[in-house]
Amino acid sequence: MSEIITPSHFKKMGLDVLLVKDSVTPKDIDSLKERYLANFRGPERNEVTITEECDRRYLDTRFIQTHTGIPFWPLDPRVEDIRIEDIAFGLSNAVRFANQGPRYNVAQHSVIVSRHCQERLKGLLHDGSEAYMGDIARMIKQTDEFTGYRRIESGIQNCIYRWAGLTITETPDVKRADLAVFSAEVRDLMQPWCGVERLEEPIKEKIRVWSPRKSEREFLKEYRKLRQ
């Protein structure tokens, strides 16, 4: 039986040529194929075929390297590229409130939201796209100039939801918890401004800032608990 090579085969091998070059040429693709074939253990080694999609995607250099070392294409997100470790690490280093408050990160926010809604896994992952795109102030993100940005963000977020087996629609339960936690964050971490706490009644829990490392650990712990 012959084997069809897809992009995931290259990623599993940990090939680093994509992570050190400014551009990937057809010659690089041929090199990737040869390196894969050299490690292929199947009896029909000469019958291995390379899909056109694999060529196309690995010629697209618009990717980022994630914490786990794999390439991730924000403009072409795929379920097979999602790693919970990348989400936890990215969110733990994404600072909320446009970097103008304490070093309070999105991973901690997500854990707290998860603990205050019924759809806990969706609450934990509701800002997952920010692991790959960072956190941008809401009033900027909602402008016409950021229409393309919101489309990319939505594509990544929906991909994460599909990866987790969740529906891609926003639910009132998670939205309520998100705003309730936000109101508490303003109360405890920022200087309150007129009317902000009327968005939603804040949670009673006092927000105390975690370190990025603790936030990452707690996020992964919460995820694994919810997956049991």
**Portion of the chain with pLDDT greater than 70, in percent:** 71
pLDDT category at 99 given cuts 50, 70, 90 is confident
Say if 139 falls within a structural domain. yes
At residue 152's C-alpha, the angle toward residues 147 and 154, to 5°, is 95
- Residue 126: CA count within 13 A, CB half-sphere: 27
Q: What is the pLDDT of residue 59?
A: 59
Residues 44 and 153 in one domain: no
Residue 49 DSSP label? E
Q: What is the band of 123 on the pLDDT scale with cuts at 50, 70, 90?
A: very high
Is residue 43 located within the same domain as residue 88? Answer: no
Does 146 map to a domain?
Answer: yes
Domain count within the chain: 2
In a domain, 75, yes or no: no
Do 220 and 123 sit in the same domain of this protein?
A: yes
**Statement: residue 153 has pLDDT above 90:** yes
Same domain, 56 and 91: no
Whole-number pLDDT of residue 57? 58
Residue 78 placed within a domain: no
* Same domain membership, residue 128 and residue 57: no
Tell me, yes or no, whether 100 lies in a domain. Answer: yes
Q: Which amino acid is at 188?
A: D
Residues 40 and 140 in one domain: no
Output the CA–CA distances (angstroms, integers) from residue 137 to 143, 144, 182, in the order listed.
Answer: 11, 14, 13
**147 in the same domain as 56:** no
Q: Does one domain contain both 46 and 132?
A: no
Query: Do residues 89 and 178 both lie within one domain?
Result: yes
Judge if 104 and 168 occupy the same domain: yes
Q: What does 149-179 look like in DSSP terms, one character per residue?
A: HHHHHHHHHHHHHHHTT--SS--HHHHHHHH
Domain that holds residue 208: 84-227
Say whether both 134 and 223 belong to one domain. Answer: yes
In a domain, 79, yes or no: no
Other CB atoms within 10 A of residue 58 CB: 22
CATH (domain of 142): 1.10.3210.10
Residues near 131 by beta carbon (within 8 Å), at least 6 away in sequence: 86, 87, 88, 89, 90, 91, 94, 106
Least confident interval from 2-6, 21-25, 223-227: 2-6
